[in-house]
Structure 1
Amino acid sequence: MARERNVKLEALLKEHGLKHHELADEVNRLAEDEFGERVNCTDRHVRRWISGEVQWPWARYLLPLQHIFGRSPEAMGFVPRKSSRIPPPPRPAPVKEQRPVRRREFVFVAAGLAAALGIDAIPAAGRLGTSDVERIRAIVPALYTHDHALGGGALHEVAAQALRRVHHALNHCTYGERTERALYAAAGDLAASAGWFAYDAGQQEDATSLYNEALQAGMLAGDGMLQARVWSNLAMQARLLDRDQEALRIGRAAVETRQAKGDPWLMALLHCRQAVGHARTGDRTRAERSLIRAERAYDRVQGQPAAWLSFLTPAELTGLAGAAHQALGQHARAQQLTASALAMLEPRFERNRVYYTAQRAQALLDDGDIEEAAAEAGRAVGIAGRVQSERIRGKLGDLRLQMRRHMDVPAAADFLEQTRQMGA
């Protein structure tokens, strides 16, 4: 078989700003510190993995690599042989010091959460009733409570597992017409949530598939609010993929739905996201108009929002306004707004705190305040240990790459050294 270069692993090194010897050093450190094993990895090993000379590393290397990049061997571009065995989760070495929560601990969190949510209690046969639907619907609010702290990387597989159980129930149980509509609405809610977690975890193909499933379920259930929600998330995904005009068109379709117009919570969020979209295309007038509309909509909110909208607080609105000003090139205003958002942010929104700390660092950097930007970026990295979000990893990675242009500034050099030692 012809040798094929491992472009996936090569891209991961570039994304994380790692040279061959730096990855080898990190593999050695993790193998010894986390797993209690000396492995003597060198840059030669890394070159052989990238060239395709070695298509499936030994397990003693795969474990640390999975730990570093948070991906399966196949997702890192490795090709298993028939005899290849994916290494099991490692047994932790004796604790030497307090360390941030890392990838393997998310596996245990997810497993415990699946049990706590009672996913196995979803019926696999028999007749379903209202209590069964309520049990399924209760899964989503519980998942979002953890999402605010942990990020989608820790949850998308749990949500997908729950969704598979619901699919089985839909196809193997009996139920009346009213229960059927409620079941499709619950399945759509779960699919949209799983799509969001996959999006946050960087699994964009899975996210698209789940969003499409949620749209279909929303149509079968006659749930217009669910459909508007999915359109909003699809717009965010298009923006992440640098398809800004597509994102604006999708967002406009969501804004114009009857359900969005009747729900000020959703309307406030949609207008905020449209503001960022207009700003990214350089349309200052429409961006500012959308921010005003978002504020007016939020002034009309009452009661509690749906679980998936529970992150929409004054802090979030302010942070999104900061993102819009940042995209418009108004960096000083962006960092001021983002600082205000951070001051208002509740402790439970740990993922958003990392996100907006990185956003403020970016605004400071773009405004020319290198020392304060490096300090803020360091704070973002310092509090990111519990959060499993590829979006945030991407923002921190971008900061690190840009900070390299300012290595003559001691604070920037210190930040780069800090993140190198942490494997960030």
Structure 2
Amino acid sequence: MNRRSFVTAVGGAAVSATAPALVAPHRIGMTDVVQLQTRFAGLIASDHRHGGQEAIETHAVALAREALELQQHGSASQRVRDSIYACAAGFMSSAMWAAIDGRRFQAAEDHHERAAKLALMSGDQTIQFRIWSHAGSLYRHMRRPADALATNDVTRNLGLTRRDPLFASLGHARQAAIHGLTGDANAVRRSIDRAQESLDRAQPDRPRPVWLTTHYDQAELDSLALAAYLALGRYEDAEAQAHRSLALLRPHMRRSQAITSARLARAQLGQGDVEPAVTTAMSIPRPLAAHPRVSGMLRGFGATLSTVAGDSEHTRTWHQFAQDTGRISA
């Protein structure tokens, strides 16, 4: 593919943001790459705090455009150019994830197409892994398990996963969550076991991209196992995984804490433990309960609660609480 033509196409589709524009020197160097990488790290931090917001998505697209425009206003070595393409792909992958998290699935698919092309141009397997792993999550959330398995297999077949067990572990963990949708309990168990074995072999001090090190650990593996067991209807196993994940979550993973708590409430309700389930659901802080994924889970929780517990005191308590605090309960 002609790089100039592709850059023009991607740049034309980008959305403006309020971020200050980069001033390109005559010669582009690794200093410029480091600046882009720093802004990428800031984007990751914002996603952990807020997640799913259109502002994050728009900002990420704008940063990708800036990175691509930087290429047009100066000369650079091939190493630097490849690194800038990788940065642009990283920004687009964050736009994609923000759209997934915000349940804007068509936008996420559009971002994936551009991100995948940029990542291929960069030759960087770490960002290719992130983009295709996000694609697997996208199709899982859209309840398209065949597509989710196929896209997640792209990540698991990258040479990177053979060189670094941490990438392999994330690939297996997300595969487990997808298998949960298919109802294949044996495949779920195999994938979780492989994810755990790979995580146990991963060297903690090995240099890795910030998007991986700030996100994936034992808590996230347990969270994906929780999602898999919930999909299978194995609520006792799901609850155990939820408690493990919550105990290990790092403080900055506030959105993950809310998502895991919502899943825990559903697992408790699935076992008929109505009072603990309502208590867990009510413990989610109001700002996090407004997150698109969390509010959707709480909406499903309220509907299931009405089915399981009828017009009980606990049901009335939850619906009144949800109404008073702005949570969606029906």
Q: Could you tell me which residue of structure 1 aligns to residue 248 of structure 2?
A: 344
Offset of 1:305 from its aligned partner? 3.8
Native 8 Å contact 1:315 1:340 kept in 2: yes
Runs in 1 of length 4+ with deviation above 4 angstroms? none
Within the alignment, does 1:253 sit opposite 2:154 as a pair?
yes
Native 8 Å contact 1:265 1:305 kept in 2: no
Q: Which amino acid in 1 is paired with 2:292?
A: E
Offset of 1:294 from its aligned partner? 0.3
Offset of 1:272 from its aligned partner? 0.7
In structure 1, how many angstroms separate the alpha carbons of the residues matched to 2:298 and 2:26?
Answer: 49
Offset of 1:157 from its aligned partner? 2.1
Native 8 Å contact 1:272 1:291 kept in 2: yes
Native 8 Å contact 2:60 2:91 kept in 1: yes
Q: Could you tell me which residue of structure 1 aligns to residue 317 of structure 2?
A: 414
In structure 2, how many angstroms separate the alpha carbons of the residues matched to 1:306 and 1:387?
Answer: 29
Offset of 1:386 from its aligned partner? 4.8
Native 8 Å contact 2:126 2:209 kept in 1: no
Offset of 1:160 from its aligned partner? 2.0
Native 8 Å contact 2:63 2:88 kept in 1: no
Offset of 1:162 from its aligned partner? 1.6
Q: Could you tell me which residue of structure 2 aligns to residue 237 of structure 1?
A: 138
Q: Could you tell me which residue of structure 2 aligns to residue 143 of structure 1?
A: 43
Q: Could you tell me which residue of structure 2 aligns to residue 104 of structure 1?
A: none
Q: Could you tell me which residue of structure 1 aligns to residue 67 of structure 2?
A: 166
Offset of 1:362 from its aligned partner? 0.7
Q: Could you tell me which residue of structure 1 aligns to residue 89 of structure 2?
A: 188
In structure 2, how many angstroms separate the alpha carbons of the residues matched to 1:177 and 1:234?
Answer: 28
Within the alignment, does 1:227 sit opposite 2:128 as a pair?
yes
In structure 1, how many angstroms separate the alpha carbons of the residues matched to 2:45 and 2:31?
Answer: 22
Q: Equivalent residues in 2 for 1:278-297 (5 A)?
A: 278-297=179-198
Could you tell me which of 234, 248, 256 is aligned with 1:330? 234
Q: Could you tell me which residue of structure 2 aligns to residue 155 of structure 1?
A: 56
Give the structure with the higher percent helix. Answer: 2
Native 8 Å contact 1:151 1:388 kept in 2: no
In structure 1, how many angstroms separate the alpha carbons of the residues matched to 2:289 and 2:266?
Answer: 19
Native 8 Å contact 1:407 1:413 kept in 2: no
What is the Cα-based RMSD across aligned positions, in Å? 2.0
Offset of 1:346 from its aligned partner? 2.0
**Partner SS for 2:72:** helix
- Gaps in structure 2 of 5+ consecutive residues: 1-16
Q: Could you tell me which residue of structure 2 aligns to residue 299 of structure 1?
A: 200
Q: Could you tell me which residue of structure 2 aligns to residue 21 of structure 1?
A: none
Native 8 Å contact 1:364 1:373 kept in 2: yes
Offset of 1:353 from its aligned partner? 0.6
Q: Could you tell me which residue of structure 1 aligns to residue 10 of structure 2?
A: none
Q: Could you tell me which residue of structure 2 aligns to residue 403 of structure 1?
A: 305
Q: Equivalent residues in 2 for 1:75-94 (5 A)?
A: none
Q: Could you tell me which residue of structure 2 aligns to residue 374 of structure 1?
A: 278
1:92-144 C-alpha deviation (Å, 9 max, x unpaired)? xxxxxxxxxxxxxxxxxxxxxx87xxx41512574322211110111121221
Offset of 1:177 from its aligned partner? 2.6
In structure 2, how many angstroms separate the alpha carbons of the residues matched to 1:164 and 1:253?
Answer: 26
In structure 2, how many angstroms separate the alpha carbons of the residues matched to 1:394 and 1:212?
Answer: 26
Q: Which amino acid in 2 is paired with 1:311?
A: H
Q: Which amino acid in 2 is paired with 1:403?
A: L
Q: Could you tell me which residue of structure 2 aligns to residue 273 of structure 1?
A: 174
**Partner SS for 1:120:** coil
In structure 1, how many angstroms separate the alpha carbons of the residues matched to 2:288 and 2:261?
Answer: 15
Instruction: Give the 3 Å change call, closer, same or farther, for CA 182–305 of structure 1 in structure 2.
Output: closer
Offset of 1:172 from its aligned partner? 4.0
1:297-336 C-alpha deviation (Å, 9 max, x unpaired)? 1012222542211211211112222222222221112112
- State the percentage of identical aligned residues: 28
Q: Could you tell me which residue of structure 2 aligns to residue 394 of structure 1?
A: 296
Q: Could you tell me which residue of structure 2 aligns to residue 423 of structure 1?
A: 326
Give the stretch that moved more between structures: 352-361 or 323-332.
Answer: 323-332
Q: Which amino acid in 2 is paired with 1:374?
A: V
Offset of 1:210 from its aligned partner? 1.7
Instruction: Give the 3 Å change call, closer, same or farther, for CA 126–205 of structure 1 in structure 2.
Output: farther
Offset of 1:181 from its aligned partner? 1.2
How many residue pairs match? The answer is 306
Could you tell me which of 262, 284, 308 is aligned with 1:358? 262
Within the alignment, does 1:202 sit opposite 2:106 as a pair?
no
1:251-274 C-alpha deviation (Å, 9 max, x unpaired)? 123212212222222111110111
Instruction: Give the 3 Å change call, closer, same or farther, for CA 120–126 of structure 1 in structure 2.
Output: farther
Within the alignment, does 1:214 sit opposite 2:115 as a pair?
yes
1:12-70 C-alpha deviation (Å, 9 max, x unpaired)? xxxxxxxxxxxxxxxxxxxxxxxxxxxxxxxxxxxxxxxxxxxxxxxxxxxxxxxxxxx
Instruction: Give the 3 Å change call, closer, same or farther, for CA 373–200 of structure 1 in structure 2.
Output: same
Native 8 Å contact 2:24 2:73 kept in 1: yes
Structure of larger gyration radius: 1
Native 8 Å contact 2:258 2:288 kept in 1: no
